[in-house]
């Protein structure tokens, strides 16, 4: 198989546990299973251009190194969702054509890589090494170093730096984080609120943390299968909503040979060891303080690691450094992974005093495989590795007294160390061969399922290919404005299809001047909004579009509109249709629509906040029952599952019907007020034109018939209620002849009763 491995760092540049595991796992896939393995990873080299790509063949693997020093980061969102890196991944995926992808970590890369893979129907396996997907700090420690249960509906705002909700000049993120870290907590909270209040471009969909949480939940939905090396990690993600059947318990497989070969001789004093970074989450201060309480001269403590800040917070280093000069404490510095067995051979007991809910620490397994007992915190997956009083001892995280008592036991009970050493040597862990063969079998299973679902249809050559369809019906000036707004979109539209839905061929010359990005279709007759749009949608899907943006001829799309619509689909699980905030072109302070509500029992439908002032209403993002087809981004999966627009409607309500059919297929419609479009209204049919009232009555009745709820009484009363609503609208709406509008309304109701749909008798 062709396997793409994705990881945030890779040896020899990075020697952390997850990076080493990803490297060893990738090599074993090639050597034991015969897979062709490609690696996408990150490096940081200030001397090279940002996002420079370097390709290398190493250990039989094809490795792509993306340079990311965060020099170009301008917002909190850029730190986890990086379009530039996603485009690089897109090119590599199209070149390498993997059968499956195995992601180990996306930090320092981009979560959009998952969308790139999912859009090509490439199965995705994700090994959970920590909590980063739902905790931007990765270790579930808040700014007071307390364990957090997980993100709430508003995200994890207490852990996000003060500038996260505002656009930030390049390079300013570390400075803002450092400033906030030095502020008293109350002042920091006040500063965070002040920055949010003063920033006009702060996300309208909630805080930066809430936006990240929503986005990450969407990412979770796109991953086919998770592997959790500890039961604790698996249970936590299940508690966060990941279905149990999509996340398997899969312990790390290690190469036992070098570790089982470790030998050591006993010393006169107890040799206590620590292996890892000297940072607050790892708790080395807890160990040193417990060590200082031992009787002098009875033990030594050697720390194989170096001090490091935790998310830019340097206060811990200031507190730790004086402890490192404690008599009997030696700081030997970090060791390359190949030298870990030698380091373990020089100690009698390893201590893992972490205060964060660790996953399944490699160093604990490596120590036990080497016959070294381990004293560890009773937190996360650590108790799954340490059997108390058999191969090690457990104490409560952060409990200096508890750790001191455990160390005292080793000094005061002469037989205990020998018993724990024997227990360590008897401990068994998974071998790497078993791990990679199980992973390979999972890859084959997921690839076979993907092929079955796709019906062996070739993958689309491009991800996130968006086409726009504009239907013109005797509004050439407005249509030109709509097309120009699409060509000015910051998120490029790969194809704009102009459907001339009329007899005269009035826009062909203009379309030729627009260039190759615009395709002109002439229907030769009025097919209605539904029929005209369907002509364009068919052409867009045949051309490989992953999503189609429906645009009324009298609508103008803001430059950032499509960007936010696409992000809304990414951030909301199950969403397949996205709608913007519609504002009036003649008065942009007035809301045209912020989504549509529909009651299946009564048939009542209303545009949210229509006619209200923009600053007087709450237009928060979220799911909607339906949305206006004036501007609507509809994914390919929605078209495939729900079908095209129902041409029985001809004009009006076909958009609501599409959203309801998509909902019945398990797909939702989402709304994001950051996406803005401007709508004139009444361009094709005047707002007081009798035909508008004809279609409103007829199609409203059709919608209520197609999508209803309630018992027998509701089936009888619903049509009368719909007719009453439309009659009231005809009588109270401004402009035009009241009698003509009423006659059109009643004719529409009569045609519904007769089963006459599509174009009216007189078009």
**Model confidence pLDDT, tens digit, residues 341-362:** 999 999 999 999 999 999 999 9
Compute the mean pLDDT over every residue in the chain, rounded to the nearest whole number: 86
Instruction: Determine the Cα–Cα distance for residues 617 and 49; give it in Å rounded to an integer.
Output: 46
DSSP 520-561: EEE-SS--HHHHHHHHHHHHHHHTT-SEEEEEETTEEE-TTH
| Domains by residue range for the chain, with CATH | 2-127 (3.40.50.2000), 161-206 (no CATH), 257-426 (3.40.50.2000), 466-682 (3.90.550.60), 685-763 (no CATH)
Mean pLDDT of the 259-270 span: 84
Instruction: Determine the Cα–Cα distance for residues 657 and 634; give it in Å rounded to an integer.
Output: 13
- The encoded tokens of residue 73 equal 């980061």
Instruction: Identify the residue whose tokens are 């991953």.
Output: 223
pLDDT score at 688: 73
Mean pLDDT of the 694-720 span: 87
DSSP label at residue 51: T
Which stretch of DSSP H or E encloses residue 366? helix 362-369
Query: Percent of the chain beyond pLDDT 90?
Result: 57
As to burial, measured by CB atoms within 10 angstroms (0-12 exposed, 13-18 middle, 19+ buried), residue 198 is exposed
Among candidate residues 618, 595, 619, 617, the one with its CA nearest the CA of residue 608: 595
446-460, 500-514, 542-556, 736-750: least confident range = 446-460
Quick: pLDDT tens for 221-257: 889 999 999 999 999 999 998 989 899 999 999 988 8
Q: Which residues contact 317 (CB under 8 A, 6 or more apart)?
A: 307, 308, 309
Instruction: Determine the Cα–Cα distance for residues 660 and 703; give it in Å rounded to an integer.
Output: 10
Please say if the pLDDT value at position 172 is more than 50. Answer: no
Quick: pLDDT tens for 93-119: 999 999 999 999 999 999 999 989 988
pLDDT band for 458, please (50, 70, 90 cuts): very low
Instruction: Determine the Cα–Cα distance for residues 313 and 90; give it in Å rounded to an integer.
Output: 35
pLDDT band for 377, please (50, 70, 90 cuts): very high
| 3 state DSSP class of 388 | strand
Please say if the pLDDT value at position 193 is more than 50. Answer: no
As to burial, measured by CB atoms within 10 angstroms (0-12 exposed, 13-18 middle, 19+ buried), residue 154 is exposed
Instruction: Identify the residue whose tokens are 């002509």.
Output: 535
The gap between the terminal CA atoms of the chain, to the nearest Å, is: 59
Query: How many degrees, rounded to 5, is the angle at CA 331 between CA 325 and CA 335?
Result: 170
Among candidate residues 402, 452, 290, 268, the one with its CA nearest the CA of residue 348: 268
Asked if 177 and 70 count as a contact pair (C-beta separation under 8 A), the reply is no
Instruction: Identify the residue whose tokens are 């048939």.
Output: 603
Asked if 696 and 652 count as a contact pair (C-beta separation under 8 A), the reply is yes
Q: Which residues contact 628 (CB under 8 A, 6 or more apart)?
A: 579, 582, 592, 593, 596, 607, 655, 679
pLDDT score at 198: 28
Instruction: Identify the residue whose tokens are 């400033």.
Output: 179
Instruction: Identify the residue whose tokens are 């001269």.
Output: 297
Mean pLDDT of the 75-96 span: 92
Quick: pLDDT tens for 136-162: 889 998 888 899 888 866 667 667 654
Give me the numbers of helices (H) and strands (E) for the chain, helices first please. Answer: 25, 26
Q: Which residues contact 717 (CB under 8 A, 6 or more apart)?
A: none
Please say if the pLDDT value at position 378 is more than 60. Answer: yes
Among candidate residues 520, 528, 483, 514, the one with its CA nearest the CA of residue 500: 520
- The encoded tokens of residue 19 equal 């990076």
Instruction: Determine the Cα–Cα distance for residues 262 and 1; give it in Å rounded to an integer.
Output: 36
Please say if the pLDDT value at position 579 is more than 50. Answer: yes
pLDDT band for 686, please (50, 70, 90 cuts): low
pLDDT score at 73: 85
């Amino acid at each position: 198989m062709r396997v793409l491995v994705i990881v945030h760092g890779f040896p020899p540049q990075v020697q952390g546990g997850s990076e080493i595991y990803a490297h060893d796992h990738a090599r074993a896939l090639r050597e034991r299973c015969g897979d062709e393995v490609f690696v996408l990873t990150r490096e940081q080299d200030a001397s090279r251009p940002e996002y420079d790509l370097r390709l290398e063949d190493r250990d039989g693997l094809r490795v792509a190194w993306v340079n990311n020093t965060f020099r170009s980061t301008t917002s909190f969102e850029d730190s986890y969702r990086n379009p530039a890196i996603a485009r690089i991944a897109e090119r590599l995926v199209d070149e390498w054509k993997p059968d499956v992808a195995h992601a180990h970590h996306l930090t320092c890369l981009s979560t959009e890589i998952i969308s790139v893979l999912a859009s090509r129907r490439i199965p995705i396996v994700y090994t959970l090494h920590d909590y980063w997907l739902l905790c931007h700090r990765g270790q579930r420690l808040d700014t007071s170093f307390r364990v957090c249960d997980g993100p709430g509906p508003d995200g994890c705002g207490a852990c996000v730096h003060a500038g996260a909700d505002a656009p930030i000049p390049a390079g300013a993120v570390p400075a803002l984080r450092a400033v906030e870290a030095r502020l008293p907590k109350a002042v920091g909270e006040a500063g965070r609120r002040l920055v949010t209040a003063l920033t006009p471009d702060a996300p309208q969909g909630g805080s930066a943390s809430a936006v990240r949480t929503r986005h990450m939940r969407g990412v979770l939905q796109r991953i086919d299968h998770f592997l959790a090396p500890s039961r604790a990690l698996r249970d936590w993600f299940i508690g966060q909503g990941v279905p149990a059947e999509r996340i398997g318990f899969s312990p790390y497989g290690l190469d036992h040979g070098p570790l089982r070969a470790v030998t050591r001789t006993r010393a006169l004093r107890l040799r206590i060891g620590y292996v890892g970074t000297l940072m607050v989450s790892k708790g080395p201060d807890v160990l040193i303080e417990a060590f200082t309480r031992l009787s002098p001269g009875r033990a030594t403590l050697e720390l194989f690691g170096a001090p490091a800040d935790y998310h830019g917070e340097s206060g811990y280093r200031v507190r730790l450094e004086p402890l490192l000069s404690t008599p009997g404490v030696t700081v030997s510095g970090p060791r390359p992974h190949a030298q870990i067995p030698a380091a373990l051979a020089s100690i009698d007991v390893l201590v893992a005093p972490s205060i964060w809910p660790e996953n399944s620490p490699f160093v604990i397994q490596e120590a036990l495989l080497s016959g070294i007992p381990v004293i560890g915190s009773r937190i996360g997956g650590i108790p799954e590795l340490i059997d108390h009083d058999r191969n090690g001892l457990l104490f409560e995280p952060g409990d200096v007294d508890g750790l001191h008592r455990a160390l005292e036991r080793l000094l005061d009970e002469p037989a205990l160390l020998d018993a724990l050493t024997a227990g360590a040597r008897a401990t068994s862990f998974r071998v790497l061969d078993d791990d990679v063969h199980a992973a390979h079998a999972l890859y084959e299973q997921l690839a076979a399922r993907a092929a079955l679902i796709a019906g062996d249809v070739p993958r689309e050559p491009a991800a996130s290919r968006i086409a726009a369809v504009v239907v013109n019906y005797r509004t050439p000036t407005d249509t030109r404005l709509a097309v120009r707004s699409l060509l000015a979109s910051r998120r490029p539209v790969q194809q704009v299809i102009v459907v001339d839905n009329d007899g005269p061929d009035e826009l062909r010359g203009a379309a030729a001047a627009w260039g190759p990005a615009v395709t002109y279709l002439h229907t030769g007759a009025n097919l209605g909004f539904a029929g005209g749009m369907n002509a364009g949608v068919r052409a867009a899907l045949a051309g490989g579009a992953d999503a189609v943006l429906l645009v009324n001829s009298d609508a103008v799309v803001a430059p950032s509109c499509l960007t936010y619509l696409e992000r809304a689909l990414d951030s909301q699980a199950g969403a397949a249709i996205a709608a913007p905030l519609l504002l009036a072109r003649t008065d942009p302070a007035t809301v045209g629509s912020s989504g549509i509500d529909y009651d299946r029992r009564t048939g009542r439908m209303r545009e949210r906040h229509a006619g209200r002032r923009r600053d007087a209403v709450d237009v928060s993002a979220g799911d909607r029952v339906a949305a206006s087809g004036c501007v609507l981004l509809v994914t390919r999966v929605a078209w495939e599952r729900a079908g095209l627009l129902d041409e029985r409607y001809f004009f009006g309500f076909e958009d609501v019907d599409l959203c309801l059919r998509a909902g019945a297929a398990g797909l939702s419609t989402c709304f994001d007020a950051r996406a803005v479009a401007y709508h004139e209204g009444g361009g094709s049919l005047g707002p007081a034109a009798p035909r508008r009232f004809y279609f409103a009555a007829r199609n409203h009745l059709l919608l209520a018939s197609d999508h209803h709820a309630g018992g027998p009484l509701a089936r009888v009363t619903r049509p009368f209620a719909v007719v009453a609503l439309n009659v009231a609208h005809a009588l109270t709406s401004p402009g035009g002849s009241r009698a003509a509008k009423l006659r059109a309304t009643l004719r529409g109701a009569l045609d519904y009763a007769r089963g006459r749909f599509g174009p009216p008798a007189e078009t």
